[in-house]
């Protein structure tokens, strides 16, 4: 373990953590992680390629799905280098500036995914509760404006968070609990007053993920109320069926995200292994599962995949 003096200074290096207690087996442990990365990158890349190339999928629902795949792809790629370095080459060092850059992409793509899931909930609400106006409300220009608003939201939230972090000084241990840089994890290592950072971070969580989840829940309350007014059982089943993929994506995104936030705020005495496992769940479960869910549950995506595979075979 590297030694550090106790004087306050601005760090040049942090040390990332693999799986505590299993350092000897890191090369073998990373094999399943590597498989998950391959599934996530190839799956999300495939969905992006299908939506871009298939003109029949140039609709609002699939535009939002492409945004979701893009955010998942970005989240995977932003951590791949440090994960490979730690588990296969025992390269644990990361500079403070590189750590800040990685945090920008991790938190940025996480916030982007939350925003896209909210936009997809709005899409399902309009499609089910007001289908006659669907085409006039969700036009191409509206989709572009939503995408631009998401980018602006990410930038205006994440950049100030990281600028506040850069003003802190650090002393003592520079060992992080994760295999990548995560804002609460880095902030805990500071030996200066972090009340402003903590309050601003909490305000961001409330105004983004918490607000998005409440609005998504509200949209589904309205959707369920509208569906229950449909007389035909078959129509009800069809309406609910169009929401299954999205509700699954919401669950696999928010459960790991909330778990990681709770561990950082209330799990100070939890074993390091718990922090690491939850952090890796947060990182890999949504990017791995979303392509699987949408390729299995969405007929148009599944048909497009079969068409591409058959054309390659022929």
Residue 2 in any domain: the answer is: no
What's residue 237's pLDDT?
Answer: 79
Residue 7 in any domain: the answer is: no
Residue 153 in any domain: the answer is: yes
What's residue 303's pLDDT?
Answer: 83
Burial class of residue 138, CB neighbours in 10 A (0-12, 13-18, 19+): buried
What's residue 35's pLDDT?
Answer: 94
Residue 6 in any domain: the answer is: no
What's residue 7's pLDDT?
Answer: 42
Residue 8 in any domain: the answer is: no
What's residue 314's pLDDT?
Answer: 65
What's residue 6's pLDDT?
Answer: 41
Would you tell me how many other CB atoms lie within 10 Å of the CB of residue 12?
10
What's residue 10's pLDDT?
Answer: 53
Query: How would you write the chain as a 3-class SS string?
Result: CCCCCCCCECCCEEECCCCCCCHHHHHHHHHHHHHHHHHHHHHHHHHHHHHHHCHHHCCHHHHHHHHHHHHHHHHHHHHHHHHHHHHHHCCCEEEHHHHHHHHHHHHHHHHHHHHHHHHHHHHHHHHHHCHHHHHHHCCHHHHHHHHHHHHHHHHHHHHHHHHHHHCCCECCCCECCCCCCCHHHHHCCECCCCHHHHHHHHHHHHHHHHHHHHHHHHHHHHHHHHHHCCCCHHHHHHHHHCCHHHHHHHHHHHHHHHHHHHHHHHCCCCCHHHHHHHHHHHHHHHHHHHHHHHHHHCHHHHHHHHHHHHHHHC
Residue 94 in any domain: the answer is: yes
Could you tell me the CA-to-CA distances from 294 to 95, 281, 298 in Å, in that order? 38, 19, 5
Q: How many domains does the chain have?
A: 1
**Can you give the CATH number for the domain in which 118 is found?**
1.20.1070.10
What's residue 3's pLDDT?
Answer: 42
What is the model's pTM? 0.90
Residues with pLDDT less than 50, the chain: 1-9
Contacts 24+ apart (CB under 8 A), 209-214: 209/111, 209/114, 209/254, 209/257, 209/258, 212/114, 212/115, 212/117, 212/118, 213/114, 213/250, 213/254
What's residue 269's pLDDT?
Answer: 74
- Is the Cβ–Cβ distance between 149 and 111 less than 8 Å? no
What's residue 160's pLDDT?
Answer: 94
Of the chain, the end-to-end C-alpha distance in Å amounts to 56
> By residue range, what is the domain housing residue 185?
13-313
- Beta-bridge partners for 95: 13
Residue 3 in any domain: the answer is: no
**Per-residue pLDDT tens for 37-91?**
999 999 999 999 999 988 888 999 999 999 999 999 999 999 999 999 999 988 8
**Per-residue pLDDT tens for 177-214?**
889 999 988 998 888 888 999 999 889 988 998 899 99
Residue 223 in any domain: the answer is: yes
């Amino acid at each position: 373990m590297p030694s550090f003096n106790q004087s306050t200074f601005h760090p040049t290096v942090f040390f990332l953590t693999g799986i505590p207690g299993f350092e000897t087996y890191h090369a073998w442990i990373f094999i399943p992680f590597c498989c998950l990365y391959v599934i996530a990158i190839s799956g999300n890349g495939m969905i992006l390629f299908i939506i871009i190339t298939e003109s029949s999928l140039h609709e609002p629902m699939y535009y939002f799905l492409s945004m979701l795949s893009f955010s998942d792809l970005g989240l995977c790629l932003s951590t791949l280098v440090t994960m490979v370095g730690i588990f296969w080459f025992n390269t644990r060092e990361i500079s403070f500036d590189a750590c800040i850059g990685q945090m920008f992409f991790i938190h940025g793509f996480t916030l982007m995914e939350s925003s896209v899931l909210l936009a997809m909930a709005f899409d399902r609400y309009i499609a089910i509760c007001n289908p006659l106006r669907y085409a006039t409300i969700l036009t191409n220009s509206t989709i572009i404006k939503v995408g631009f608003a998401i980018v602006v939201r990410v930038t205006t939230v994440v950049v100030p968070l990281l600028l506040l972090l850069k003003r802190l000084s650090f002393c003592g241990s520079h060992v992080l609990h994760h295999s990548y840089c995560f804002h609460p994890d880095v902030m805990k290592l500071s030996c200066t007053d972090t009340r402003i950072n903590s309050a601003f971070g909490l305000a961001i969580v409330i105004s983004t993920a918490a607000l998005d989840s409440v609005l998504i829940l509200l949209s589904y309350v309205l959707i369920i109320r509208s569906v229950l007014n449909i007389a035909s059982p078959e129509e009800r089943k069809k309406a609910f069926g169009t929401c299954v993929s999205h509700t699954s994506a919401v669950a696999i995104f928010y459960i790991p995200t909330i778990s990681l936030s709770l561990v950082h705020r209330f799990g100070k005495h939890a074993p390091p292994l718990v922090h690491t496992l939850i952090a890796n769940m947060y990182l890999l479960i949504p990017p791995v599962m979303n392509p699987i869910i949408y390729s299995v549950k969405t007929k148009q995506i599944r048909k497009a995949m079969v068409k591409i595979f058959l054309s390659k075979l022929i």
